[in-house]
Amino acid sequence: MISSLPLLPPFLPLLIGSIAALVLRGHLRSVIMLLAPIWGALQLAGLESGIYWTMDFMGYQLEPVRVDKLSMLFGYLFHLAAFIAVVYALHVKDTLQHVAGLSYAASAVGAVFAGDLLTLFVFWETLALTSVFLIWARRTDRAYSAGMRYLIMKVLSGVLLLVGAIIFINQTGSARFTEIGLEHEGALSLGAWLIFLAFGIKCAFPFLHNWLTDSYPEATPTGTIFLASFTTKVAVYALARGFPGTELLVWIGVTMACFPIFFAVIENDLRRVLAYSLINQVGFMVVGIGIGTSLALNGAMAHAFNDVIFKGLLMMSMGAVLHMTGRINGSELGGLYKSMPKTTILCIVGAASISAFPLFSGFVSKSMIMSAAVTEGYDVVWLLLLFAAAGVFHHAGIKIPYFAFFAHDSGIRTTEPPSNMLLAMAIAAGLCIAIGAFPAQTVYALLPWEATYQPYDITHVLTQLQLLLFSALAFVWLNMKNLYPPELPSTNLDTDWLYRRWAPSFIVPIYFAIVSAKDKVAKLVHQTLSKAINRAYDRDKDQPKGYFAQLWPTETMMAWVAVLLTGILLLYYI
């Protein structure tokens, strides 16, 4: 179905808002920035499913704007996330952050409405180029270095996507972005795997995840809210569109859900704890996409929707702590509930949501994925996801609010953050409760696939309450016995240590040894050849001694010319 072009492409209202943020100042800029996501969401409400624009490019048909239920779900989500993030950042006077934030959101919207691989690539790259400025905007050496590493990984993802897309388009004759899968042969298989790997980098697959935990904690307090909302969720959308039902994703996802727990529990930087938690939650989504049934896919999409909100709320609460105290390490915080009671309550709502307490948003989506795993016979996966659910309660549901606002009294006395930051957190908290209490009227109504699910039955509720109860008891017991990892000023090594520290420690010396050996060999060869040439042309008192210093008859010279000419002709014809 080819529909008439809408008033504006879905991403354009946010892009216009970013341009307004660049040229305007004061209250007018704030008003336009707030109106941009509202305008964009209202325009989405008037769209029907279909392809709204096509164009020919090098003999292939591109579809820059394609609307269906899946893209609409993420379209609404990204406009909502942009609105909350803009509200949270209204007190910021830094033009760079405002422009980068809205441009980044516009790129995310453009990516989920892209109907072909080449348009997706364009927005895939603008996602990287706009988001890195939210890291650099902190203007520290650590932020600059982390931003460069972030950008390198994002550009690598883009290159893989472009090469894979070109191969795939060349083999299939179509640029449409539909289900790709991995069950191919020959060059087509190579293209599919390159696209899969490109998506995996942005999705923070195991061993490809370090860019996230490295860079997000180095961004500005407001920039982290944008970062946590868009990049990984665009990758989740791309996997759901291109690789639903790919069983490999089940095992990748369950690994993502489990391994960050161990890093998060020992991490001191509370924003980095949430970065690991972000990978953990994306792991649940990837499992759902890999299972591939309607219930599993709906659960993955619902969890992506909910995660943007409750993870954003937790990030905002930690951003408020950083903004008001200048500190974010758990070892330096504690007792803040006395001076930041509103922030404390809002943070606890986010913690309850990510922990999947009944009547909070995380429960109504996470349970869908776990139910789908059991239904499809993934019993081991279900057990591992149960472990991951308990782990996230430890490191995000308990650790974040406990060490920031309770634990020991750090002696820090401050005030609540600016009212706009509190308002943004309150909006997110209200959504966490509303979605948890009324899932059928909220997030379930947006889900793309036909599937019925009732989260509030006795089995689901009792299972989750038992999990939370025993996890809480374990945390209390470990703390009482001084067995829970303490919050210590330290640097925890992740897998990026292998290529950032360990590999250079022996590769660099080997490189310089090879260069030195090459120089010595070159010098030796030069000296040897010089001596040989000098001997060949050596003359002693006009008497030729060297071979080439002698006089040659004309016949001999002609013979040598013939030999050289024959050799040249042979080389030419070969």
Question: Rounded to an integer, what distance in angstroms lies between the CA atom of residue 353 and that of residue 360?
Answer: 5
Largest Cα–Cα distance of the chain, in whole Å?
A: 112
Tokens 């809002």 correspond to 346
User: Rounded CA gap, 170 and 173, in Å?
Assistant: 5
Name the band, by pLDDT with cuts 50, 70 and 90, for residue 545. low
- C-alpha 478/C-alpha 97 separation (Å) is 41
Query: Do 244 and 297 contact (CB within 8 A), yes or no?
Result: yes
Number of domains composing the chain: 3
* 14 belongs to a structural domain: yes
Is residue 494 over pLDDT 90? no
Backbone φ, ψ for residue 544 (5° rounding): -65, 130
For the cut 60, the answer to whether the pLDDT of residue 5 exceeds it is no
Residue 236 and residue 311: Cα distance in Å, rounded?
15
Render 422-473 in DSSP notation, one character per residue. HHHHHHHHHHHHHHHH-TTTTGGGG-SS-------SHHHHHHHHHHHHHHHH
pTM: 0.87
Residues 207 and 339 in one domain: no
- In angstroms, the CA 161 to CA 394 distance is 36
Which residues contact residue 454 at a Cβ distance below 8 angstroms, ignoring those fewer than 6 apart? Answer: none
DSSP code for 407: S
Is residue 459's pLDDT more than 70?
yes
161 plus 118 within the same structural domain: yes
- Tell me: do 302 and 219 sit in the same domain: no
Residues 334-361 as b/e (b if ≥16 CB within 10 A, e otherwise) read: bbbbebbeebbbbbbbbbbbbbbbbbbb
Please choose, from the candidates 114, 152, 77, the residue with its C-alpha nearest in 3D space to the C-alpha of residue 241: 114
Instruction: Write the burial class of residue 277 (CB in 10 Å: 0-12 exposed, 13-18 middle, 19+ buried).
Output: buried
From its phi and psi, is residue 412 left (phi > 0), alpha (psi between -120 and 50) or beta?
beta
User: Could you tell me if residue 419 is inside a domain?
Assistant: yes
Judged by average pLDDT, the poorest of 72-86, 286-300, 472-486 is 472-486
Give 358-417 pLDDT, tens digit per residue: 999 999 999 999 999 999 999 999 999 999 999 999 889 999 999 999 988 888 999 999
Rounded Cα–Cα distance for residues 257 and 287 (Å): 9
Q: What is the pLDDT of residues 400-411, one digit of tens each?
A: 999 999 988 888
Instruction: For residue 85, give the amino acid letter.
Output: A
Q: Would you place residue 548 in the very low, low, confident or very high pLDDT band (cuts 50, 70, 90)?
A: low
Q: Residue 542 belongs to what domain range? A: 537-574
Q: Are residues 270 and 221 in the same domain?
A: no
Q: Are 205 and 249 members of one domain?
A: no
| Six token digits for residue 320 | 């408020």
Instruction: Compute the distance between CA of residue 425 and CA of residue 99 in angstroms, rounded to an integer.
Output: 22
- Whether 371 and 464 map to the same domain: the answer is yes
413 lies in the same domain as 359: yes
Which of these, 357, 394, 422, 395, lies nearest to 270 by C-alpha position?
395
Q: 403 and 276 in one domain?
A: yes
Higher-scoring residue by pLDDT: 305, 474: 305
| Co-location of 417 and 543 in the same domain | no
Q: 202 and 281 share a domain? A: no
Q: Do 481 and 565 share a structural domain?
A: no
DSSP 8-class letter at 11: T
Per-residue pLDDT for 4 more than 60?
no
Last residue of a domain, one of 494, 513, 546: 494
∠ CA 383-308-315, nearest 5°, is 100
- With b meaning 16 or more CB within 10 Å and e meaning fewer, what string describes 106-122? bbbbbbbbbbbbbbbbb
Q: Among all chains, which residue has been given the structure tokens 């939210």?
A: 134
What is the rounded distance in angstroms from the CA atom of residue 360 to the CA atom of residue 429? 9
**Arithmetic mean of pLDDT, 66-86:** 97
Q: Answer yes or no: is pLDDT of 418 > 80.
A: yes
Is 194 among the domain residues? Answer: yes
Residue 2 has pLDDT above 50, yes or no: no
Whether residues 565 and 460 share a domain: the answer is: no
- 22, two tokens: 């660049």
Burial class (CB in 10 A: 0-12, 13-18, 19+), 573: exposed
Element (H, E) at 66: strand 60-67
> For tokens 């591939």, what's the residue?
292
Question: Residue 529: inside a domain, yes or no?
Answer: no
Q: Which helix (H) or strand (E) holds 571?
A: helix 554-573
3-state secondary structure (DSSP) of residue 57: strand
CA 401/CA 321 separation, integer angstroms: 11
Which pLDDT does position 552 carry in this prediction?
64
The last residue of one of the domains, among 218, 242, 266, is 242
Query: How high is the pLDDT of residue 417?
Result: 97
3-state helix, strand, coil in the chain (%, to 5): 70, 5, 25
For residues 448-455, average pLDDT = 91
Last residue of a domain, one of 211, 242, 273: 242
Q: Is residue 520 part of a domain?
A: no
| Distant-in-sequence, close-in-space partners of 41: CB < 8 Å, separation ≥ 6 | 75, 76, 79, 80, 83
Name the token pair of 296: 């599993």
**Residue 188 half-sphere exposure toward CB, CA atoms < 13 A:** 10
Structure tokens at 92: 């910021």
Give whole-number Cα distances, 283 to 246, 256, 277, 334, 485, in Å. 14, 5, 10, 30, 24
Q: Are 149 and 215 in contact (CB under 8 A)?
A: yes
C-beta of residue 109 within 8 angstroms of C-beta of residue 10: yes
